[in-house]
Structure 1
Amino acid sequence: MAGGYDRRKRIRRLKKIILGTVAAAIIIPVIVSILLGVRVVSLRNRVKELEAMLLTEKEKNAGAGVFTLSSVEESDRNQEKDTQEMEGEGAQAESTDIQKEVYFTFDDGPSANTDEILDILKEYDVRATFFVVGKTDEHSVRMYQRIVDEGHTLAMHSYSHKYDEIYASRESYVEDLTKLQEYLYQITGVWPRFCRFPGGSSNTVSNVDMTELIEYLDENGITYFDWNISSGDAVREDLSVDTIVQNCVGKLDNVNIGMILMHDANDKITTVEALPEVIKAIRERGDTAILPITDETKPVQHVLSNNIN
């Protein structure tokens, strides 16, 4: 009898242990999940607070008020224009021999090469225009700010650079461009008013009539720029330095305003290597000023102009 009692007692104890283990296996994850959920909500609220503080501080530093679409006309671009014109022209503007204007434009950045491009431009005291895409990594954010801080023109290419999405409809293009415009404003305090269509205004992949998109830009005070000189670096990543220099300089005799298309992308190593040679070749001409795009720049446009190349 005693043996049977002890056995039942052991069985009851074993059942309690099993039930306790099962209960713990259920309850502990639930408690942990609740605690983690509370922590996540707390962290999200803190992130929102920090973002609000950061945006407020950036607006103070930029001298801007609370962001609204109506701030376009009061953008820092108006103040930057005079500075860029003076710095960009430099000693060249004093020469009476200047007959041509050349604009270096870089598409698709920021990239791993942006720092080096900016270093070269700084070394040669040249201002350029960067038609950027939307990137959120720390390096890209720093590059957007450096472009502005060093007197270059920060302009828009597209946020996603995905042709099938951007050109799916007028609404999708507007959504993409607006997203980039507001993003760049939040980072730099500058409201960009210049853009370049991915593929140019003469692209053949858009599902929407490009004149509709151009009308939208006109209605919103945005000027688009194409190009009439191509470095050729979009064709292949290993294009030789000599070829890039010749492509950039060889057509200058045929134009009074040269809008040169280059690319700021990770694989465009020879573009970076060619940049000093392009600058020196243009300056050796003695009749050409290298400038950033400003409100005073006459646009080169494939659609609605004779500048198709």
Structure 2
Amino acid sequence: MVILSFTSFFFEVKWWSFLLLFLFWLTMTVWGSSDIRLGYFVKTHCNNPNEKERKIALSFDDGPHPITEKVLDVLQKYDVKATFFCIGKQIEKHPEIFKRILAEGHLVGNHSYSHTNKFGIFSTQKVIEEIQRTNDIIHTVSGKKVVYFRPPFGVTNPNIARAVTHTGHHVIGWNNRSLDTVIEDENKILKRVKNRVAPGGIVLLHDTSQKTVNVLEQLLLFLQSENYDVVPIDKLINLPAYET
């Protein structure tokens, strides 16, 4: 835009050139804010592109929740470890379920305190408060200081970027989104995830509904048949999940 404005002093530049440039900038900003895989505003870890072996990670958002217990039962049945991005206020409601997640060898990450749909318009300071509040809750319940953060809805923007720089968190995304909170048909959810399975990938699921529990068991059977090794995210991207 600046270059175009400068050029207009020497050459005739059509007004619609500015409009097109503005629309391009707006499109990229909206897309960059809503698609965490782009890393548009902040560095994100959405997979391990260098992984050649059949390794993949499963992640669950929005717990702990009563359904989390059923998810844990399935993971235990298949001896699989996953990563749970937990909401602060949900940990306060279900501390025992949160403790079970850790006791069974799974990783936990920070998924904000409120998970409000207004998170994307929070100030930098408000985002910092949300992250630190949840970190404090996790530390109180478990003694762990988490350094993984997954923003609600996968939204990123300059305020969130400044906040995680301040708190020192790694932003963890995904490259295989199940849409299990949107799609009702379990077969369609399963098909969507299976079609996107690839070495080094991170699958996004939610431990908040029975349909996801049902899909999870079928997905694990599929991954088993394809000789995939399901690992926690720290083993996939080689970044520690907790402060040492």
User: How high is the TM-score relative to the length of structure 1?
Assistant: 0.56
CA distance in 2 between partners of 1:122 and 1:177 (Å) = 29
Shift of 1:232: 1.6
Match of 2:37 in 1: none
Answering whether residue 224 of structure 2 is matched by residue 283 of structure 1, we say yes
Q: Which residue of 2 aligns with 1:217?
A: 164
The structure number with the bigger radius of gyration is: 1
In the alignment, structure 1 segments of 5+ residues that lack a partner are 1-97, 203-209, 300-309
List aligned pairs for 1:158-307, cutoff 5 A.
158-164=112-118, 167-202=121-156, 210-236=157-183, 239-252=184-197, 255-265=198-208, 268-286=209-227, 288-294=228-234, 297=237
Q: CA deviation at 1:294?
A: 1.5
Kept in 1: contact 2:147–2:168 (CA 8 A): yes
Q: CA deviation at 1:217?
A: 2.1
Larger helix proportion of the pair? 1
- Distance across 2 between alignment mates of 1:136 and 1:277: 27
Which amino acid in 2 is paired with 1:294? D
Q: Does 1:99 align with 2:53?
A: yes
Aligned to 1:159, what secondary structure does the other structure show?
A: coil
In the TM superposition, what is the alpha-carbon distance from 1:248 to its structure 2 partner? 1.6
Query: 2 CA distance for matches of 1:213 and 1:168?
Result: 8
CA contact (8 A) 2:92 2:137 kept: no
Contact 1:201 1:226 in 2 (8 A): no
Deviations 1:117-173 (A, max 9, x none): 001101100000101102367761001111111110011111111132563200100
Question: What is the CA distance between 1:240 and its match in structure 2?
Answer: 2.2
Contact 1:166–1:172 (8 Å) recurs in 2: no
* Counterparts in 2 of 1:291 and 1:198: CA distance versus 1, 3 Å: same
Q: Distance in 2 between matches of 1:220 and 1:138?
A: 21
Which residue of the partner structure matches residue 79 of structure 2?
125
Q: Is the 8 A contact 2:119 2:152 kept in 1?
A: no
Gaps of 5+ in 2: 1-51, 240-244
Partner Cα separation in structure 2 for residue 125 and residue 100 of structure 1 = 17
Q: Deviations over 1:58-81 (max 9, x none)?
A: xxxxxxxxxxxxxxxxxxxxxxxx
Q: Encode CA deviations 1:186-239: one digit per residue, 9 max, x unaligned.
A: 01111111011111145xxxxxxx244234324533111111111121214xx2
Contact 2:120 2:155 in 1 (8 A): no
- Judged with a 3 Å threshold, the aligned counterparts in structure 2 of structure 1 residues 123 and 109 are, in CA distance, closer, same or farther, namely same
Inter-partner Cα distance in structure 2 for 1:155 and 1:259: 14
Aligned to 1:150: 104
Partners in 2 of 1:297 and 1:137 — Cα distance?
Answer: 26
Bigger RCO (CA 8 Å, 6+ sep): 2
State the one-letter code of the partner of 1:269.
Q
Q: Closer, same or farther in 2 for the Cα pair 1:297/1:106, shift >3 Å?
A: same
Letter in 2 for 1:227: W
Retained in 2: the 8 A contact 1:135–1:141? no
Closer, same or farther: CA 216–295 of 1 in aligned 2, 3 Å: farther
Q: Does structure 1 retain, via aligned residues, the 8 Å contact 2:91–2:98?
A: no
Q: Quick one: structure 1 residues 184 and 169, their matched pair in 2 at CA, closer, same or farther if it must change by over 3 Å?
A: same
Q: Which amino acid aligns with 1:133?
A: I
- Cα–Cα, structure 1 residues 120 and 146, in superposed 2: closer, same or farther, change >3 Å? same
Secondary structure of the residue aligned to 2:109 is strand
RMSD value, Cα: 2.2
Report how far residue 281 of structure 1 moved.
Answer: 0.1
Residues 221, 118 of structure 1: alpha-carbon distance in 2 compared, 3 angstrom cutoff: same
- CA distance in structure 1 between the aligned counterparts of 2:155 and 2:54, rounded to whole angstroms: 24
Q: Percent identity?
A: 27
Shift of 1:111: 1.1
Q: Distance in 2 between matches of 1:235 and 1:177?
A: 26
